[in-house]
Amino acid sequence: MNGMDISRAFWEEEGLPGLKRAFPSLLPDLAAGLVGEGSECFGYDDAISRDHDWGPGFCLWLSAENEAQFGEALRSWYAALPAAFSGYDRRPLSSRINVFTPEGFFARFIGRIPSTAVDRLRIPEEYLAVCTNGSVFYDPSGQFSALLNRLRQQPDQVTRKKLAARCVTMMQAGQYNLPRCLKRGEELAAMLAIQDFARAAASCVFLLNGRYMPFYKWLPRALRELPLLGAQTAGQLERILANPLSGDAPAQIEALCAMLADALRARGYTTLAGSDMQAIGLSIQAQLTDPSMRQLPVLAG
């Protein structure tokens, strides 16, 4: 069993029955699950993951009024749950496993809940990936799940603005500056250019799949799993990064740009021909319908 399955079983066998006995009046308002930091929330935990912050455990979310009144009692109740479950030590209360309000939980990752498209644009994708992963085990009112799902769904104008920025970065780092760095013999600058290109290209594919790009540790695995161009992009980036200073790198970058440009056209983000990613990015930016987004610098986002 992976960490998520163990935690769900812990909730079903120990958490929920215990709450029914100790806090039955809170159950209609309460949600439980495992969301946030930790490899098990992405479904990527393995034997190596078990050296810290891993094991059966769950978060509780409830209204601000009930958290103020019952939060400490719930924390004491959680701390008194069995110290081990299914052969693994229970996770103690921490910044990851605790009693939260929904707003307080998400504020740890993204500050206040975004109310405008520009607010949403300014949140790094890695933070949104962390706070929208995982699973909700119990939520009879649906209030926590509704907020979680709202954050999981990126507005179309934000997606388009980010795609514009990623395309321009791909051109500047990969199509323009990398060949110049190689010609000058600036090897460190060339590797940094490839790094910027790789992140922008990967982000573009996540955006095309309607997903948030996680931080670097899990980026390759998550990229390979994406149904649209995920495995192809990961494979091409691996080939580029395996020998970044070779004369083949610019041609491999051009091939990846052409593939992504085709995908952007196929999905209606641009009608511009060719694979000049800066021109494509500017065309996406020019077609934004939200004035607050369109007036931002193209690289914003």
Give the pLDDT of residue 167.
Answer: 98
Judged against a pLDDT cut of 90, whether residue 230 lies above it is answered with yes
What pLDDT, on a 0 to 100 scale, did the predictor assign at position 24? 97
**Looking at the predicted structure, is the pLDDT value of residue 283 above 80?**
yes
pLDDT digits (tens, 9 = 90+) for 75-97: 999 999 999 999 999 999 999 99
Segment 221-225 mean pLDDT = 97
pLDDT at 144: 97
**Tokens 């006995």 -> residue:** 21
Q: How far apart, in whole angstroms, are the C-alpha atoms of residue 301 and residue 298?
A: 8
Q: What is the pLDDT of residue 80?
A: 97
Please give the C-alpha separations between residue 215 and each of 38, 114, 161, 171, in angstroms, as whole numbers.
12, 21, 20, 22
289 C-beta neighbours (distance < 10 Å), count: 9
Q: Which residues pair with 299 in a beta bridge?
A: none
Does residue 273 surpass a pLDDT of 90? yes
Q: Does the pLDDT value for residue 54 go beyond 90?
A: no
**Average pLDDT, integer, range 24-53:** 91
Q: What is the pLDDT of residue 47?
A: 86
Residue of 190, 133, 128, 113 whose CA lies nearest to 162: 128
For residue 216, the model assigns a pLDDT of 94
Work out the pLDDT band at 52, boundaries 50, 70, 90. confident
pLDDT at 205 exceeding the cut of 80: yes
Mean of all residue pLDDT scores within the chain: 95
Q: What is the DSSP string of 227-271?
A: TTTHHHHHHHHHHHHHSTTSTTHHHHHHHHHHHHHHHHHHTTS--
Q: How confident is the model at residue 53 (pLDDT cuts 50, 70, 90)?
A: confident
pTM of the predicted structure, to 2 decimals:
0.94
Give the residue-averaged pLDDT of 157-170.
98
Q: Which residues in 187-207 are b (16+ Cβ under 10 Å) and which e?
A: eeebebbbebbbbbbbbbbbb
Q: How far apart are CA 176 and CA 174, in angstroms?
A: 6
Residue 60, beta-bridge partner list = 32, 99
Rounded mean pLDDT of 146-154? 96
